[in-house]
Each structure stands twice: as structure tokens, then as C-alpha cells.
Amino acid sequence: MNFLFLSAVCFLVSLGVGFFMIKAAFRLNLLDIPGVRSSHRTPTPTMGGVAIVVAFFLGTILARFSSAHWDALGWLGWLAAGAGLVAVVGIIDDFQRLPVLLRLFLYGVAAGMGVAGGIRLRVIDIPLLGMIKFGIFEIPITVLWILAVVSFYNFMDGIDGLAAGVGVIVTAFLAYIAWEVGNSDILILSLLLGSSCLGFACYNFPPAKIFMGDVGSTFMGYILAVVALMGNQSKEPGHIPFLVPVLLLGTFLFDTTVTLGRRILRREKWYLSHREHYYQKMTNLGFSHLQITIGEYSLTFLLGLSALLYIRADQMLAFPILVVWLILLASLIKLITSLEKRTTRD
């Protein structure tokens, strides 16, 4: 079966389920009521991420039965089990907040399912610095990576269109890179996830008609975390260096790492809800959801172009790409912090 056709199916299913969820949310009172830390002002339907989950799983099932290449008893089955667990936890959490430690434990179980399917972070190749091999630590490092991306993606789902739109851009670049290097597994997964996100994004773009909720953001984080590991451990042809998806997710990873790092250094409870992410600081500075979202899209698109350059570059060029982006993102955060301090003084 043509995988572009499957992508169209995922898009249409996501579009249909998203429409249904908007109608059902008002009838079942599945509304996100604005609070002190909220970025919205009116009650808005939530749990729209169910559309992404349903569309992705349907596309995966159709792809499995249309391609003998996919082994349902191998990595795909474990991936589905882990992603399914994360989605269920997200649904429960959207209804009634679960304790943080319980959520982390269940996410850890889901990460362990990925490990059981053979997904491991065994090595990272850093340009000019060489290989970092994890050896006996590969399993805990793998679990930590999946936990981090699941949580980070959830943290960044705070304003209209941000997480869904960035997901579409990231998966589009991943799909193209996978096609270029000949990795059909990541090509298929990226197309299915990206088209599922695109269908939902039609309702989530500012001003949002529905939010994805934890069910959508954690699910997307899990799939992207596992895809990053799959490409890195694939042998040539089909190898996608681990730092490529890290680069694609650069704004989310950098924002959350710096924000959590600062909260931990200040001995604050980093796991509690807050409004210290830099996209949230920009709303405090007067930027609209649309402006911030378009800005994030633009940065992610530029990161995608950099990822394409990175995968083609030699060691001497690949290293400066990483350094330049670290400097640019750090400078952007410094600028936002300075503007916020100036506004507070005024």
C-alpha cells in the first residue's frame, strides 16, 4: 500500500476524530478551565490528542498488514504497547491529575517496553570529539532519554498550535531524511505521525478550537523519542545520527532543559506547574499566541534545514552547526530574560 495514501488516511481520520472530540467535549464537559497559570482565557475543549492517537494507530495497523517488512511481533509491537500505555496515562491524567511519581513510573514502564523491543541508545557520535559508548549504562540512559522527551514535549504544550505544529515540521524533516538515507521504518512512522498531527493542527492553530491535552503531547513525545533511537542504532544504509533529531527538537529540548535547570538550582519543585518556560515569558511580554507559534515554527524550520546540512556535512562542518545553534538559542533566551527584567522594572 502506498504510504502517502496511508498518510492521507491518517490526516482525514485525525480531522474527523478531532471534529467529534470538539462536539463531545462540550457535551461531556471535557473543558480546560482557565487558571492562574493558563495561557488561555475561555473554557476550551481538551483531549484532542485522542485524534492523533487514533489516526496514528490506524495508520500503523494498515501499514503493518500492507507490508511484510513490518514485524508485529518485533519492535513494532513493543512500540505500540509503550505508546499505548503513555496514551492511556495521558487520558487518565487529563480527567484527574495523577501523582507525579506515579506518572513517571508509568512512563518508565513504557520506556522499558521500548527497550524490550530492542531500542537502545548505545552510542552518540559527536563531531570532532568522537564516539561516546554507554556500555552497561545504555538501558538506563535509554529510559532517561524517553522519559525526558515525553515530559519535555508535555511541558511545551502550553499555547495554541505550538506542540502540534512543531511536530508536523519535525516529522516532515525526519521523513525526508529517512527517505534520503533509505530508512523505511522511520519514513513510515514519521509520515504517519506527521499527518496525524496535521489533521489535529487544523483545530489547534491559533485561536485553538481544542487542546491536545496530555494524551496527545506525551504520545507524540514517546514516538519521537523512540524514532530518534531507532535511526541512531540503524546501520548503514539507513543510519540517522542521534544528534539529528536532537537538533530538530532543539527549541523544545533547550527551553525545557534551561528552565528546569534554573528551577532545580533555586531548589524549587521543578515538577510542579509553572509559567517560566520562555514561550510563556513571551506571552507575558505581550506577544500573541500566533506570533510565538509562528516564531517557533520558523526556528524549527531553520533547525530542519540545519539537520539536512548536518547529515551531509563532514566532521569539520557538522561541529560548528551544533555550536552555532547552542549560541543562538542561548542568546535568544538571554534576550527574552533581559526584556522581561526591563518590563518588570518599568
pLDDT by residue (tens digit) across 190-229? 999 999 999 999 999 988 999 999 999 999 999 999 999 9
pLDDT, tens digit, 9 for 90 and up, residues 25-75? 888 877 877 655 555 567 788 889 999 999 999 999 888 887 655 554 467
Helix (H, G, I), strand (E, B) or coil at 2: coil
Do 27 and 212 touch, CB atoms closer than 8 A? no
What pLDDT is attached to residue 72? 47
Which of 80, 82, 60, 83 lies closest to 6, judged by CA?
Answer: 60
What gap in Å lies between CA 169 and CA 108, rounded to an integer? 27
Instruction: Please tell me whether the overall predicted TM-score, pTM, comes out greater than 0.85 for this model.
Output: yes
Mean pLDDT of the chain: 89
Tens of pLDDT, residue by residue over 136-179, are: 999 999 999 999 999 999 988 888 899 999 999 999 999 999 99
